[in-house]
Amino acid sequence: MRILAELLDDAAVFPPGNASIEEAVAGHVRHLRSVHACLVGPLVLAAKDLGELEVVLGDRPGHSVNLTLTVPLPGLVPATAVARAIRSVRLVGLEVALPDGTSAAEALAALDAADLDSDLTTYVEVPRDARRADVLAALAGTRYRAKLRTGGVRADLYPDETELAAAIRSAVALDVPFKATAGLHHAVRNTDPATGFEQHGFLNVLVATARARNGADEAEVVELLAERDGGRLVEQVRVLDPSVRDAFCSFGTCSVDEPITELVDLGLLDPRYMKDLA
């Protein structure tokens, strides 16, 4: 489905996947050579891993990767230069974390001062604190996008439906494209049986974003994020305008295989997409 194209950013090294750099590169190359390559976005790595990435790629001649780099705002310029210098790497994106206390105005000034190349898709992680509204408003009308945190390794890192709905509706109202990071381990809203964490579904986010773009109020967006019936979500995904992806760009997943398997099981992808899964 065109609406799922490049939806899955390959974040295999991040929890709970915790793949080594070598494993992540090998897995990413496998995905890019597979029948499901059209669903896969860039490899996502932290700036601290660039040295190891260079070593691993040096042992794999002929392989190249599109890379999105997660980096704290103060280290943005040097990390970008290091990534650009690695052979077999095409730096396509940045995901920038703001230090505690950094205001929206300070963040935007630092990004502008970094004079980033126009070919870099740059996301700014929106803090889950009082700065959220200001940061989203500051991103409006710029070339920078938003990164919304949707989970993590602790229960408190998961925003509830009301918080996430407010962030999505704000981003949509301001015409700020966004990606999601962490916690979207399944297609449909669920309770993780191992941890008890309430986890958002990536199809829920997709449908909720589409409805927000059509003017849905907060209560409706909250209800869609809470929906646990996969069949109902699938019905809505099938009729979505693909332009919703202009708003919800992608999400980081520590496993590309698992979301594809779930999408096949839900009937949104042909079983052939599972041909090259590990």
pLDDT score at 64: 76
Instruction: Dump pLDDT digits (tens) for 99-157.
Output: 999 999 999 999 999 988 888 999 999 999 999 999 999 999 999 999 999 999 999 99
- The list of the chain residues with pLDDT below 70 reads 59-63, 278
Tell me the domain boundaries of the chain. 2-274
Phi then psi dihedrals of residue 187, to 5 deg: -70, -30
Question: Looking at residue 31, what is its pLDDT?
Answer: 94
Q: What is the pLDDT of residues 72-83, one digit of tens each?
A: 999 999 999 999
| Reported pTM | 0.95
Show the CA angle centred on residue 200, arms to residues 213 and 268, nearest 5°.
70
CATH class of 2-274: alpha beta
If one counts every other C-beta atom within 10 angstroms of the C-beta of residue 59, the result is 9
**Per-residue model confidence (pLDDT) at position 278:** 66
Identify which of 164, 166, 170, 135 has the alpha carbon closest to the alpha carbon of residue 247: 170
DSSP bridge pairs for 40: 8
